[in-house]
Each structure stands twice: as structure tokens, then as C-alpha cells.
A and B are shown apart, each in its own frame.
Chain A
Amino acid sequence: MISLTSFSSKLLCFALVLWGCTLAGCSGLRGTPLQMPQLVAAKASPQPALGGQILWQATVTGGAPPLSYEFRLLTEHRLTVVKRGPENQWAWLPRNPGDYQISVKVEDAYGASTVSPWQSYRIEPGIKRGSRIAVLPIENLSGTKAPLQQISVAYADMLQETGLQLMGTEQLENFMYRHRMRYTGGIGAGISAALRDEDQVAAVMITSLESYEDSVPPKIALISRLVLCQDTPRIAWIDGVGLSGADHPGLLSLGRIDRIEELQKKALATLRASFENYLAGNRRRGNRSEEQPPRDYYRATDFSSENSYRLAIVPFLNRYARKNAGFVIPLHLINSLADHENLDLIEPGLIREQLLKYRLIMQAGPSLAIADALAHKSTLNADLILSGYVFDYQDQSGTPKIDFSTRLFSGPERKIIWWSRSYAAGDDAVYFFDLGRYRSAHVLTEDMSRAISQLLFPRKYYRETDPTELNPAGYNQH
């Protein structure tokens, strides 16, 4: 009897211990429920664009480890996943001014997730009105003779009207003479630092003349960018304009522009308006036309666009296209990729500097050795290297015709993750009178480049409705 009681009590104890262990085990495995994360920025809003990294730290309690963090950036209804991984920190280098909202989604080992409320953050332009900038002489990529001096002066006058303080022409010439600076299509790290330290220049305006034709109808195309003079020069603003005198002929051709001077003024005014918009702290807006998707493309299945990348666009190889076409296409690609929040586009002048420094000659595009050199931390630290061939670039009289291919090389993986072939003529989509005709090669190339950028880094629009999230401002009106 005693032994039986002892046995039953032992059994009871064992059952209790087992139940307790099970409970403890479950709680150990599942942990406490995942709480809503707290997201804190190291710097208070607002901050200037490209003014330094802003560290965001997420703090969360509960959840079964390991936790996974997804930092999300929302601007103008466009959602970008900027970082995903086990780290609870994200160093943000904002590139474009505007109103942003930031949130973090935390997921535990069992797939339970929670999202922090959206936090508003304002980014101001990289330079302010009154800042001192240098306007470099215009780089001629048009392959023809053009009145560069006249365009440069007209553009500088327009920029001065925006309230910027321009570095004097004589002073700039002295600087260029002192530093033996002949290339005006970009700036390297040395020139950038020298301009900042010696002449207190905050930024440099670099402009390339893409097309110029003074016959009737005239044509002009320009791409301009503002590069901040930091230790590593960075592109703060970029935009382009391509106009033809026959763009809007209107009734009885009354709207036709026959004088290049008039068209030039219109083109410069368009650039100025875009730059004014930037100085006002707004994001770039333009009258975008159709996209011209590549005719063929390959995108590696394991390539994720939901990450932050440092991208180097090297000059394209010119395969019997017109002079300088290999420099024009990269500028268009930079222009179309500049809006992507997760991309750090490397200034072309910096790329040129490194290629010259290490005497890297690319006869047929970057080899693995060159890609390694560009991807190395001591050089450009590029995650991705975009190169390509230009087979045709016809922007003079007649219908524009463009043909080029692109290749994206992943530095760390040492392999090609993207290839595309784009070709189009200005009259490809003309079926009824002149509707749908491209008159400017610039506009056609811009549409082709934008289509590539959308396929490479597709934009996501905010559609998620999560009860734990606060609605971002403006979303409900979309």
C-alpha cells in the first residue's frame, strides 16, 4: 500500500514535471509575443541630402530569435525596401530632398511579424540658395561644333538668378590651370576636395551637350548634374532636356521653332526650372512620355533589387556609333536611376579617375580583374558595375535611331546578373500622321533608359493595409 501510494505520488510528480517542462519548453521556444518595434533616428529631422549617414535603430522585445529586420522607405507612395537582414540598424544616406516615411518590419523565427508606425522625416536639398557653386565649361558630346562658350554663359546667368553664388570665370580658370584640370565632364575626389578647401565651393555644376544642330528644324539636348564637393563627390541633382524645333508644330506650323537660339533658351529654362524645383526641396518631376522596353533582356533570378547598392556605370564601348555615344548612354542611365532611393550612383568623374589611376583599359567591357578593381573597397567599392555597347546613335537630321546593349556585373559575386538589348527608331510607333514620332534622340534614349531602370529595380507602390500600421500621410488619397 505504501509502495503503491509512493508510486502514484511519483507518477503525479512525474506528470507535473513533464507538464511543467512542456510549458517551459513551449515558452522557451515561442518566447513572449513580438512587440511593436521602436524606431529611432540618430539625427533629428530635417537633414540635408547627402549630408551624412543617418543611423536608424530598431528596438523590439519578444519574439523567437533569430529576428529579421526589414527597413522600409516610403516616398510619394513608392515603397522601397532598403535593407533586409538580421541587423537592427540601417545607415541611411538620403540622396534626394523630399518628405519621407520610414518603418521597420520585424519577423521572428516562426514567421510572426510586427511593423513599427511610419515616422516622417524631411530631407532638405544638398545645397541652399546662397551656396557657392562652380559651373564647369560645357562638355561637348555632340560630335559636332557648337557654341559652347555662349551656352555656358547663358546657363551660368540663369543659375545665378536662382540665388546661387557662382565662382567667377577667372577664378575657375585659375583653379583649372593650377590643377591641370582639362576634363570637364566630371570631377574626381582630388578636384572635389581642392575646390571645397581652396575656393570654398559647395558643389559643381557639370553639363554635357548631347546634341546640337542649327539647321531647320534645330535640335539641342543637354544633360546637367550637380555634384557636391565632398571627400567622395556625389551627384545631388541630375536632369536632361532634349528639344527639337518641330516638337510642337501646332496649327499651320505656327508653333515650330526655326532658330537654335530660341530653342537653346527654352532648353536652358527647362533645366533651370528643374533645378529650382530641387532647390525648393521637391523631388524631380518631369513630363515623362512612353517607355521603350528592351527587346530582349535577362535578369538573374537570384538578384534582389530590394537592397542598397553602390552602382558604377562605366563608359560604354562605342561599336561604330557616332562619336561620344559611349559617354551619352551612361549619362541617360544615371539620370533614370537617380530617383531610386536604394542606389548610390558613383560620379562618372570618380570612375574615370580610378580607371586612369590603375590604367584600366576596357577593350571589350570590364573583365573580372577590372570588376574586382572597381569593386575593391580602396577604389570605388562598387557593388554593381554597369557596362555595355552602343551600336547606333543617330541624333542628327532625320529620324533618331538608337541601338545599345547593357550588362550588369555583380562585384562580390563576380558574375553577370543582367543583360539587355534595346533598339528603336523614332518612327517605330508612327501609324497615323506623325502621332507617336520621336524627334529627339535624347527623348528616345531617355525612355529606353527609364524602361531598363524599371526592369532592373522595379518600383513598388504602397498598397499594404496592416492594422498595426498607421496610414502614411497622403496614402489614402492615392
Chain B
Amino acid sequence: MKRIEKQLQWLALAICLLSSGGCAVNSANTYKNSLMNFGAVQSVAVLPFQNLTADDDAAERVRDTFMGMLLATEAMYVLPPGEVERGIERSGVRTPSTPAADKVKSIGEILKVDAVITGVLREYGQVRSGQTQANLISLSLQMMEVETGTIVWSAASTKGGIDMADRMLGGGGEPMNDVTKEAINDLLDQLFQ
């Protein structure tokens, strides 16, 4: 009897773990603070992205596209990069891509924005597998509320890479700019869903 009970306990635990794992599949890349009123965010400053790739200008390219596409949603006003640069200089942030909470508050006060967005560009460029190659991007973003300096939204997206069609037909995959747009659209969907 005890043995059956123990087996049942294990089974229940396994079901719990599996179900929690299953639930996590859709939201593993996204965190959204349920208490945050995102409609109140009227203006944001997009700080320079951290670049973990070998391409020096990749982060700036992606940031420019992200800023433009976020502005085009008309959901919030995105400060021009020159103004963001001024805010960074005035607040004295040494590493603008990874600012501390108090520095986020400081930048927010100087620039008079509701939130600050930071990002990490993890992959940007071509990936190769055998004779096949394709473009790949992996980007994660975080939004921080300036009043508290806490993260209210975090998301990541990876787009491009080698798929079956590339392996079968070749062709080199989609252009880098198109893959970047796909990833940013995915991130914006996650922000506004």
C-alpha cells in the first residue's frame, strides 16, 4: 500500500513538473509585470544595445531599426538617439547598455521619459552548417520603469537560421535586414499583446 502511495506521489510530481514545463513553453521568452499599466507609457528612451557579436556596428543597426519600428506603432514616442546620448552624458552612466536602477531613474528624469529600454544583441550574422548558410539574429530587450528602476517587460527573439528549405534548396536564407525586421516585429508583438 505504501509502495503504491509512493508511486502515486512520484506520478503526481512528474505530472506537476510536466504541466508546469508545458505552460512555460509559450512564455519562457517573455516577462510582463502584471501590475504595470503599459498604456501609461507615453515616451521611452532606447539606450544603446549591448553587442555580444563580432560585428561592431550590428547593435547600432538593430537599435536604429527597433527605434523606428517602435515609433511607427504610434503607441509611444521614442526619443531621438541624439537626445538619448545627451541624457546618458548628463547622467554620467558609464555603461549605458546595462544601467543600474538608480541610473535608469536619473536618465528618466533628465530625458523626461516614462520608461527606458535596454537590449542585448546576442547573435547577428551568418551561421553555417555544412554547405548551407543563412542569416540569424538573436535579440533580447528589457523595459524599465523610470519611477522605480525595475524591469517591467523582458522579451527575446531569435529569427533566421538554417531551415529545411535552405538545406534542400540552398540560397543563403533571407537578407539580414529582413531577418532583423522579423525579430523586431516579434518583440513588438510580445510587448503589445
A296-B65, A296-B72, A405-B64 known; 17 new pairs, CB 8 Å cut-off, are A295-B177, A296-B69, A297-B68, A319-B60, A319-B61, A363-B85, A365-B85, A366-B80, A368-B86, A387-B82, A389-B60, A391-B61, A415-B77, A416-B77, A416-B80, A421-B64, A423-B177
Q: Would you call A368 and B72 a contact (CB within 8 A)?
A: no
How far is A155 from B86 in the complex, measured between Cα atoms in Å? Answer: 44
- Majority secondary structure, B binding face: helix
CB distance from A365 to the nearest CB of B (A): 4
Q: Distance (Å) between the CB of B183 and the closest chain A CB?
A: 14
- List chain A residues, Cβ under 8 A from B65: 296, 405, 421
Task: Please tell me if the beta carbons of A419 and B72 are within 8 angstroms of each other in the complex.
Answer: yes
* Residue A327, interface by CB 8 Å: no
Give the residue name and chain of the B residue nearest to A294 (CB).
B68
Contact residues in A for B67 (Cβ distance below 8 Å): 419
When the two chains form the complex, which single residue of A296, A364, A420 contacts B82, counting CB atoms closer than 8 Å?
A364
Q: Which residues of B contact A421 (CB under 8 A)?
A: 64-65, 68, 177
Taken together as a complex, chains A and B put the C-alpha atoms of A407 and B71 apart, in Å, by 11
Interface residue? B78 (CB, 8 A): yes
- Is there contact, CB below 8 Å, between B181 and A362? no
A370 at the interface (CB under 8 A from B): yes
Check if A320 is an interface residue, CB within 8 A of chain B: yes
The yes or no answer to A53 lying at the interface (CB within 8 A) is no
Q: Evaluate contact between B64 and A368: CB separation under 8 angstroms.
A: no
Chain A contact residues: helix, strand, loop or mixed:
strand
Report B's interface with A, CB cutoff 8 A: 56-57, 60-61, 64-65, 67-69, 71-72, 74, 77-78, 80-86, 177, 181
The count of residues in chain A whose C-beta lies closer than 8 Å to any C-beta of chain B is: 29
Q: Does A301 contact B (CB under 8 A)?
A: yes
The answer to whether the Cβ of A356 comes within 8 Å of any Cβ in the partner chain is no
Closest to A405 in B: B64
Contacting residues, chain A, for B72 (C-beta < 8 A): 296-298, 419
The docked-state distance in angstroms from the alpha carbon of A370 to that of B181 is: 30
Give the distance in Å from the alpha carbon of A241 to the alpha carbon of B173 in the complex.
35
Contact B78 A416 (CB under 8 A): yes
> What is the bound-complex CA distance between A365 and B82, given in angstroms?
4
Chain A residue at minimal CB-CB distance from B78: A416
A363 CB contacts on chain B under 8 angstroms: 82, 85
Give bound CA distance, A297 to B68, whole Å: 7
Q: Is A237 an interface residue (CB 8 A)?
A: no
